[in-house]
């Protein structure tokens, strides 16, 4: 593919994994067989408060988290790609008031950090260099039994299995080289309580365009809907007052895992390529949510491409972007 279209790859590595909710999923285009990549990425999440069950915004329970991701992806064939990665995450409660969680990890206002989940994924592309339909799967396994209670935590410590479909199109008329990609994933989530299912749907869309030979810009949107989960209630009593469906000691003890999160995010990003190296940055923001965080997400990273067998020449002459690395959650 052209250098300009190759730039569609890296920012989406992180744009899809922004903040505590799970990332959207894989992208539609895959790398050529024999081409691999190593990605190192950094993320900063600024949680400025919470959206309650009725959407009421509470500027309380603020926190920040920072993550460093390492991921390797490889094109097994021109259509089949596989990847493995894991993030190292740090989180800290930053609110001026005592933490709503009452947890010691929040009350100390100190950093809590560890490795999070190991993500192993595969995707297979149908289509051509100009369009693609790509089923994908991903398995997330906690690297160890880490803490999940409070704001200053690295994740939910639950096993997850994702199945989904990504579609992509490269325009040849109107705006030549513009790319549009969309993704849907259904996630089967381990249940800490047998009577509370936590499966969820996530989706996203991206529109990207190469401004010049080495620069690529994009706009993104992402959403999540938890099919199960519990609602915490709201001060207005709509649909019910606190503690909502967190109405037993057992449920309250698991509340950080059980919340019925729904949200929309919008954002954008830019990528610069220099030979076999791409440097990327992106920003996204919550614009709507229920029982969800509110805040912003900043990402920065670098991807290095390497060839085994066929060589990078095949990579550079493709008409469409080879896709996005299927990373673990940067959270």
- Could you tell me the domains of the chain? 3-316 (2.40.160.40)
Q: 27 falls in which pLDDT band (50, 70, 90)?
A: confident
Tokens, residue 60? 């309380």
pLDDT reported for residue 315: 54
pLDDT reported for residue 213: 87
Q: 193 falls in which pLDDT band (50, 70, 90)?
A: very high
292 Cα distance to chain centroid: 15
Give the phi and the psi of residue 314 in degrees, each rounded to 5: -65, -35
- In this predicted structure, the answer to whether residue 16 has a pLDDT above a threshold of 90 is no
How do residues 119-149 score in pLDDT, each as one tens digit? 999 999 999 999 999 999 999 999 999 999 9
CB–CB of 284/15 below 8 Å? yes
Share of the chain above pLDDT 90, in %: 81
Mean pLDDT on 284-305? 97
Tokens, residue 259? 């919340």
Mean pLDDT on 281-293? 97
Alpha-carbon distances of 123 from 42, 86, 151, rounded to whole Å: 24, 18, 33
pLDDT reported for residue 318: 40
CB–CB of 116/328 below 8 Å? yes
Q: 326 falls in which pLDDT band (50, 70, 90)?
A: very low
CB–CB of 265/257 below 8 Å? no
pLDDT reported for residue 174: 84
> If you average pLDDT over every residue of the chain, what do you get?
88
CB–CB of 202/193 below 8 Å? no
pLDDT reported for residue 81: 97
Rounded to a whole number of angstroms, the CA Rg of the chain reads: 20
Residues 6+ apart with CB under 8 A from 117: 86, 87, 140, 141, 142, 143, 155, 160, 328, 329
Three-class HEC string of the chain: CCHHHHCCCCHHHHHCCCCCCCCCCCCCCCCCCCEEEEEEEEEEEEEEEEECCCCCEECCCCEEEEEEEEEEEEECCCCEEEEEEEEEEEEEECCCCCCCCCCHHHHCCCCEEEECEEEEEEEECEECCCEEEEEEEEEEEECCCCCCCCCCCCCCCCCEEEEEEEEEEECCCCCCCCEEEEEEEEEEECCCCCCCCCCEEEEEEEEEEECCCCEEEEEEEEEEEECCCECCCCCCCCCCCCCCCCCCHHHHHCHHHHECCEEEEEEEEEEEEECCEEEEEEEEEEEEEECEEEEEEEEEEEEEEEECCCCHHHHHCCCCCCCCCCCCCCC
Mean pLDDT on 307-328? 49
Distance, in Å, from the CA atom of 21 to the CA atom of 260, rounded to the nearest integer, reads 11
Distance, in Å, from the CA atom of 8 to the CA atom of 282, rounded to the nearest integer, reads 12
- In this predicted structure, the answer to whether residue 87 has a pLDDT above a threshold of 50 is yes
Mean pLDDT on 214-229? 97
pLDDT reported for residue 26: 74
Q: 309 falls in which pLDDT band (50, 70, 90)?
A: low
CB burial of residue 192 (10 Å; 0-12, 13-18, 19+): middle
pTM of whole model > 0.75? yes
How do residues 30-71 score in pLDDT, each as one tens digit? 999 999 999 999 999 999 999 999 999 999 999 999 999 999
Mean pLDDT on 259-266? 98
């Amino acid at each position: 593919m052209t250098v300009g279209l190759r730039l569609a790859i890296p920012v989406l590595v992180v744009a899809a994994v922004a903040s505590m909710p799970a990332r959207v999923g894989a992208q539609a285009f895959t790398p050529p067989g024999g081409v691999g990549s190593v990605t190192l990425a950094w993320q900063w999440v600024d949680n400025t408060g919470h959206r309650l069950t009725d959407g009421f915004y509470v500027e309380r329970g603020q926190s920040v988290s920072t993550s460093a991701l390492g991921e390797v992806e490889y094109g097994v064939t021109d259509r089949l790609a596989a990847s493995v990665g894991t993030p190292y995450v740090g989180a800290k409660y930053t609110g001026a008031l005592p933490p709503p969680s009452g947890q010691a990890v929040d009350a100390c206002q100190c950093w809590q950090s560890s490795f999070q989940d190991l993500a192993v994924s595969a995707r297979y592309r149908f289509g051509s260099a100009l369009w693609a339909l790509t089923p994908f799967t991903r398995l997330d396994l906690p690297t160890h039994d880490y803490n999940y209670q409070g704001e200053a935590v690295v994740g939910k410590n639950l096993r997850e299995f994702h199945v989904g479909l990504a579609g992509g199109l490269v325009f040849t008329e109107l705006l030549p080289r513009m790319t549009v990609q969309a993704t849907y994933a259904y996630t089967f989530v381990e249940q800490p309580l047998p009577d509370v299912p936590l499966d969820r749907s996530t989706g996203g869309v991206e529109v990207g365009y190469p401004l010049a030979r080495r620069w690529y810009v994009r706009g993104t949107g992402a959403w999540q809907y938890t099919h199960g989960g519990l609602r915490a209630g709201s001060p207005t009593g709509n649909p019910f007052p606190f503690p909502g469906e967190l109405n037993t000691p057992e449920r309250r003890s698991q509340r950080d895992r059980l919340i019925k999160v729904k949200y929309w995010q919008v954002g954008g990003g830019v990528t610069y390529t220099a030979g076999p190296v791409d440097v990327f940055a992106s920003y996204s923001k919550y614009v709507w949510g229920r029982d969800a965080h509110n805040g912003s997400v900043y990402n920065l990273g670098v991807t290095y491409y390497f060839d085994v067998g066929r060589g990078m020449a095949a990579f550079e002459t493709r008409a469409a972007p080879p896709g996005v690395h299927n990373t673990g959650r940067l959270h």
